[in-house]
Amino acid sequence: MAQQERAIRTRKIILEAAAATFDEHGYESTTIAEILERAEVTKGALYFHFPSKGDLARGVLAAAVTTEGVRPHALKLQELADTLLLLAYRLPREPMLSAALRIAVDPQARRQFGTAWPDWAELMAGFLREAKARGEVLAHTDEEEVGRMIVSTWTGVRVVTEGLPGTYDLPGEIALLLRLLLAAVATPAVLPRLDISAARAAHLYDDMPARRAEVAESAPRGISG
Amino acid sequence: MAQQERAIRTRKIILEAAAATFDEHGYESTTIAEILERAEVTKGALYFHFPSKGDLARGVLAAAVTTEGVRPHALKLQELADTLLLLAYRLPREPMLSAALRIAVDPQARRQFGTAWPDWAELMAGFLREAKARGEVLAHTDEEEVGRMIVSTWTGVRVVTEGLPGTYDLPGEIALLLRLLLAAVATPAVLPRLDISAARAAHLYDDMPARRAEVAESAPRGISG
């Protein structure tokens, strides 16, 4: 059991090192040597978990579709918004997420590994179907189309925000996007009940179990620590 | 005069060859030799118009912000929609446009040359300000914010549509995007009067003067031709 736990942790360390290196230099320019140096593991350990650089890219992409930190809410549309706000807040803080987006946006890497976009679009369509069943969404809404548009527009806001001069913060820009999109999708009774703001993104992030554990770990310990 | 015309045409040929090569291989991988070969001009002619590869990239970016083919309309929001629909239709047909987007999305090239995004955002905000003055836009709309969101989301739809499996066509996807966004922006009286469809994009394209000239040129000529 301890051995298995160690293997899981090693795998995670390698994947995080790969993500950080892909994120900095792009997939093509990254070498296995750089990942080894950053991960501080042996070549054998790396190749045991990931036989090729492509397996590392696929591992990063698979890890990036996540609703971690999103909690159940009376309104399904709030859960949808929370997923996207939280992602915006986590992205600049977690190389695993930004590396996945960088791979998806790079045409060459994308041809080799595909993207997580279809998975994200399906996740969004699922939220919208549940929201519609509960009467939160206007009847003429096409869940597949809107789900796809959410993924496209979220990605565009990320790409363009990064490239614009000035200091736009991603959670604020995603909140703006969601307010526009959901105005065209939510029923009039539900719309004013939604909380869509950068402040909510920060709050959700601080409440994530993983984040709490991290804060606890870095806090000064008592004599017994 | 004839000499000046020839210089303008040579400049255009070089810029189009550069755009096509950037579009295929990316800015970094493109060599001046490839551009020369495609343009079929002398090295002297190329360097006369564009002293460096960077000047070619800047030339491509500058040429890509365009409302060519958009005609005056009673509704300013229709002109805004037409600009974006027409762009979607022209993009896969004109390397100058897709090369500009490829440069903008590539983080390395973007750091060197910037993007046309601020110019596009200002163009959109201008349409929205005029539309608001005419009562076409809801009073609480922030023209700068919505202008920026239009550019971001348009870009995202382009990037993601290209990367999704399946055969989504860009004008259709942009029409979908515009119907969502304008539902949150246009006044109830104006919204149903807007024509937002892929068919309109094709129609606008076929009516462009440049396109008409091209069709006329390629048509079989009479004895006098």
Tell me the ipTM for this assembly: 0.85
Same domain? A84 vs A187:
yes
CATH assignment at residue A85: 1.10.357.10
Contact A152 B153 (CB under 8 A): yes
Same domain? A101 vs A156:
yes
CA B142, CA B216: separation in Å to the nearest integer? 44
Task: Tell me if A30 sits within 8 A of A53, measured CB to CB.
Answer: yes
Any domain includes B223: no
Same domain? A57 vs A82:
no
Same domain? B83 vs B125:
yes
Any domain includes A38: yes
Same domain? A84 vs A151:
yes
Contact B157 A153 (CB under 8 A): yes
Determine the length of chain B. Answer: 225
Domain ranges, residue B7:
2-63
**Domains of chain B: total:** 2
A114 interfaces chain B, CB cutoff of 8 Å: yes
Structure tokens at A137: 């969404």
> pLDDT below 50 — which residues of chain B?
222-225
DSSP-based three-state secondary structure for B137 = strand
B155 interfaces chain A, CB cutoff of 8 Å: yes
Closest chain B C-alpha to A29 CA, distance in angstroms? 13
Any domain includes A22: yes
DSSP-based three-state secondary structure for A137 = strand
Give me the pLDDT at residue A102, please: 85
Any domain includes B222: no
Cα-based distances in Å from A32 to A6, A22, A36, A53: 21, 11, 6, 7
B145 interfaces chain A, CB cutoff of 8 Å: yes
CA B97, CA B68: separation in Å to the nearest integer? 12
Give me the pLDDT at residue A220, please: 57
Any domain includes B70: no
CA A123, CA A2: separation in Å to the nearest integer? 35
Who among B115, B173, B184 is closest to A184 (CB)? B184
DSSP-based three-state secondary structure for A186 = strand
Any domain includes A222: no
**Contact pairs from chain A to chain B, CB under 8 Å:** 109
pLDDT tens, residue by residue, A129-177: 999 999 999 999 999 999 999 999 999 999 899 888 777 899 999 999 9
Give me the pLDDT at residue A225, please: 40
Same domain? B94 vs B197:
yes
Same domain? B24 vs B84:
no
Any domain includes A68: no
Domain finish residue from B15, B36, B63: B63
Give me the pLDDT at residue B128, please: 98
Any domain includes A118: yes
Contact B180 A177 (CB under 8 A): no
Same domain? A55 vs A89:
no
Same domain? A175 vs A151:
yes
Closest chain B C-alpha to A153 CA, distance in angstroms? 4
Who among B117, B165, B168 is closest to A160 (CB)? B117
Same domain? B91 vs B115:
yes
Task: Tell me if B181 sits within 8 A of A149, measured CB to CB.
Answer: no
Q: Which long-range contacts (CB under 8 A, 24 or more apart) does B116-122 make?
A: B116/B61, B116/B62, B116/B64, B116/B65, B117/A160, B117/A163, B117/A164, B117/B151, B117/B155, B118/A164, B118/A165, B119/B65, B120/B65, B120/B151, B121/A164, B121/B147, B121/B148, B121/B150, B121/B151, B122/B147
CA A156, CA A101: separation in Å to the nearest integer? 11
**Least confident window among A86-95, A113-122, B108-117, B198-207:** B108-117
A180 interfaces chain B, CB cutoff of 8 Å: yes
User: Contacts of residue A164 in chain B, CB cutoff 8 Å?
Assistant: 115, 117-118, 121, 148
